């Protein structure tokens, strides 16, 4: 009996979960169709682009959670923004808002008392007001310079009470604003990386070869006239699985790796008379220290190599990279 009850519960839960997704997807599709004949988003983007201060996003309850996320997305995509709690704003935090800022107020009903108590002051400051509500005729919508309609036919909640579809639509429209602003500002990958230095993309776009390369005495190198034995000793001592071969001016003319040694064993019996220039790979792959480390990764992957030499503008050897160095730096 209990097992049958559990199975029925599971089936109902699955149906409700799928229905929730359908309702929320339909709500976003309806918003998409509504915007085809509504230029309010364009006006909102124009106001936000003209803002010389910050974008202040405010809401309470579930709308407050959405407001925080919208502020975070704007900030990370080139539009400085912050969240202000309307109740706290009424008790001093409104001092953070200036006439140079733009204010986005979020309330599904458009009548939230905490918001309505501070917005007349925001308007008197001269800060442009953008409202996101589900009621175009509400007090907030009528007060705003631009109203963004986030109304939905129904909530995904079976009781049609808990904010579900309405918060999803509001969040989606917030993302749409951020993306439109990102594009209008010419925001690039490099800009995104600067605001996300701790993330994977930040490391890939901000880490240069000189940040991770081995330099000085840690770089294995021998002259072109060195014996194979001397080269093997250098490989062993420096622990990079290779050594660079350089000319008298310190410019790399070749490289010799552990793999080259294994292949050499198959065809050479007496190593004592082997000179490294006769068995090295000429014209080794090289990179400059100010290039991005991710460029080195691309070359290594394309050429199927694990090590790479680093040279300066005069082609003199200044460093070396191993694939493990890039892995440790989390560039890969």
Strand ordering across the sheet containing 242-246: 221-223, 242-246, 252-257, 281-282
Q: Which CATH number fits domain 209-328: 3.40.1160.10, 3.10.105.10, 3.10.580.10, 3.30.1360.20?
A: 3.10.580.10
Give the Cα-Cα-Cα angle 149, 151, 155 (nearest 5 degrees): 155
pLDDT confidence of residue 81: 95
pLDDT confidence of residue 174: 97
- Each residue's pLDDT tens digit, 65-85: 999 999 999 988 889 999 999
pLDDT confidence of residue 155: 94
> Parallel, antiparallel, or unpaired for β 129-133 and 286-287?
unpaired
- Cα distances from 152 to residues 25, 42, 117, 133, 251, in angstroms, run 11, 21, 26, 10, 68
290 exposure class (CB count in 10 Å sphere: 0-12, 13-18, 19+)? exposed
pLDDT confidence of residue 10: 85
DSSP sequence for 59-97: --THHHHHHHHHHHHHHHTT--EEE--HHHHTTTGGGG-
- Each residue's pLDDT tens digit, 9-28: 888 889 999 999 999 999 99
Whole-number Å distance between alpha carbons of 38 and 128: 19
CATH fold match for the domains 19-187 and 209-328:
no
| Positions of the chain with pLDDT lower than 70, given as ranges | 1-5, 189-205
For residue 106, give the nearest of 81, 124, 125 by alpha carbon.
Answer: 81
| Domains of the chain, residue spans | 19-187, 209-328
pLDDT confidence of residue 78: 87
pLDDT confidence of residue 1: 47
- Cα distances from 292 to residues 15, 203, 324, 331, in angstroms, run 50, 10, 16, 10
Q: Which residues contact 289 (CB under 8 A, 6 or more apart)?
A: 208, 209, 210, 213, 310, 312, 318, 319
Q: 272: which 2 tokens?
A: 């004592």
pLDDT confidence of residue 202: 59
Phi, psi of 217 (to 5 degrees): -70, -15
DSSP sequence for 287-332: E-TTSBHHHHHHHHHHHT-SEEEEE-TT--EEEEEEHHHHHHTT--
**What distance lies between CA 260 and its chain's CA centroid?**
40
What is the pTM (predicted TM-score) of this model?
Answer: 0.67
Q: 249: which 2 tokens?
A: 């001016």
CATH of domain 19-187: 3.40.50.10490
């Amino acid at each position: 009996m209990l097992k049958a009850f559990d199975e029925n519960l599971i089936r109902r839960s699955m149906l409700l979960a799928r229905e929730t997704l359908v309702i929320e997807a339909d709500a976003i599709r309806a918003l998409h169709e509504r915007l085809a004949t509504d230029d309010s988003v364009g006006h909102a983007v124009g106001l936000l682009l003209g803002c010389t201060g910050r974008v202040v996003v405010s809401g309470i309850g579930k709308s407050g959670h959405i407001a925080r996320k919208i502020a975070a997305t704007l900030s990370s995509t080139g539009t400085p923004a912050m969240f202000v709690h309307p109740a706290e704003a009424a008790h001093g935090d409104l001092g953070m808002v200036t006439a140079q800022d733009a204010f986005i107020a979020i309330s599904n009903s458009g009548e939230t008392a905490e918001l309505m108590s501070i917005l007349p002051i925001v308007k008197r400051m001269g800060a442009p007001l953008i409202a996101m509500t589900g009621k175009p005729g509400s007090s907030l919508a009528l007060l705003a310079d631009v109203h963004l309609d986030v109304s939905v036919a129904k909530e995904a909640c079976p009781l049609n009470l808990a904010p579900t579809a309405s918060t999803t639509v509001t969040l989606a429209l917030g993302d749409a604003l951020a993306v439109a602003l990102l594009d209008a500002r010419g925001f690039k990958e490099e800009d995104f990386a600067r605001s996300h230095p701790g993330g994977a993309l930040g490391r890939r776009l901000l880490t240069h070869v000189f940040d991770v390369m081995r330099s000085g005495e840690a770089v294995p190198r021998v002259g072109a006239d060195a014996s194979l034995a001397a080269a093997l000793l250098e490989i062993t001592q420096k622990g990079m699985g290779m050594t660079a071969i350089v000319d008298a001016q310190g410019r790399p003319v070749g490289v010799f790796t552990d793999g080259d040694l294994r292949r050499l064993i198959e065809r050479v019996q007496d190593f004592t008379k082997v000179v490294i220039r006769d068995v090295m790979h000429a014209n080794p792959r090289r990179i400059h220290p100010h290039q991005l480390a991710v460029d080195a990764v691309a070359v290594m992957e394309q050429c199927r190599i694990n090590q790479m030499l680093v040279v300066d503008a005069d082609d003199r050897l200044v460093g070396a990279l191993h694939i493990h160095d890039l892995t440790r730096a989390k560039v890969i």
